[in-house]
Chain A
């Protein structure tokens, strides 16, 4: 058989053997979900960061209010007491 014919025959064999195969649907969907699940983890992480920032801001506001209240109470106690003594 001539080389050309042999090569043609081989190409025909290759075309029949190396055919595109469909990967299992469960595998493709499962891996796709895992890849997109990775995104959810990142989003969750960023949400947690936001929650933390909010918590810190709320903490500062609470502390500020607490100091203001304490200051006012102290002013009332000492400043008010002084005024009463002056009146007397």
Chain B
């Protein structure tokens, strides 16, 4: 049993415990500790996969696979000074890459009865609705290289700083800043093309 939970008992206190401490227990096979990590990161991994795939069903399926894969390999996890989320994002990245590869081989018809999603913090009745302009922008983003998509998701969805993004992506703060600027210029050019062709 994870000692932090046993001693503190309160759910609120669990949020104060650092990842390293929880990871130490989780890597020893403590599933309760892994459950805490799951609760801490499920939203982030789901958002990453959702924006990479654009499909709620697949995002849920792949999110579940990320956490089951992580749970089965947590004993192999070694702390190399990068955040734990970087490890989860790497698993998610590999699964999304496989998903894209399989989809290109066997294209699927999207399901019409996709569950309704909501923006975080919004009223439950306010479902996610994207304008045509936003949909066009998302299509262009999904054609960017995975690393660039990742940076945009971390910056806009997670609201992380360049330093935090660098820690996750294994880049320096300056390299993140430079890559971000190049992404913006490339997106601007791509969107000009989309607007001209009326896509």
The answer to whether A7 touches B185 (Cβ under 8 A) is: yes
Q: Flag A38-55 by CB within 8 Å of B: 1 or 0 each.
A: 110010000000000000
Binding site for B on A (CB under 8 A): 3, 6-7, 10-11, 13-24, 27-28, 31-32, 34-36, 38-39, 42
Label chain A's interface by main secondary structure.
helix
| The one of B64, B128, B134 that contacts A21, using a Cβ cutoff of 8 Å | B128
Interface size on B, residues (CB 8 A): 44
The answer to whether B117 touches A21 (Cβ under 8 A) is: yes
Assess A28 versus B42: contact at CB under 8 Å? Given A14-B152, A21-B47, A22-B120: yes
Complex Cα–Cα for A17 and B157 (A): 9
Given contacts A23-B59, A36-B31, 8 further A-B contacts (CB under 8 A): A13-B137, A17-B141, A18-B152, A21-B117, A21-B120, A27-B63, A28-B43, A36-B35
| The one of B59, B60, B156 that contacts A18, using a Cβ cutoff of 8 Å | B156
Label chain B's interface by main secondary structure.
helix
Assess A38 versus B43: contact at CB under 8 Å? Given A19-B157, A27-B60: no
Chain A nearest CB, measured from B197 CB (Å): 18
Assess A24 versus B115: contact at CB under 8 Å? Given A14-B152, A31-B67, A32-B39: yes
Complex Cα–Cα for A3 and B134 (A): 21
B84 contacts the other chain (Cβ, under 8 Å)?
Answer: no
B130 contacts the other chain (Cβ, under 8 Å)?
Answer: yes
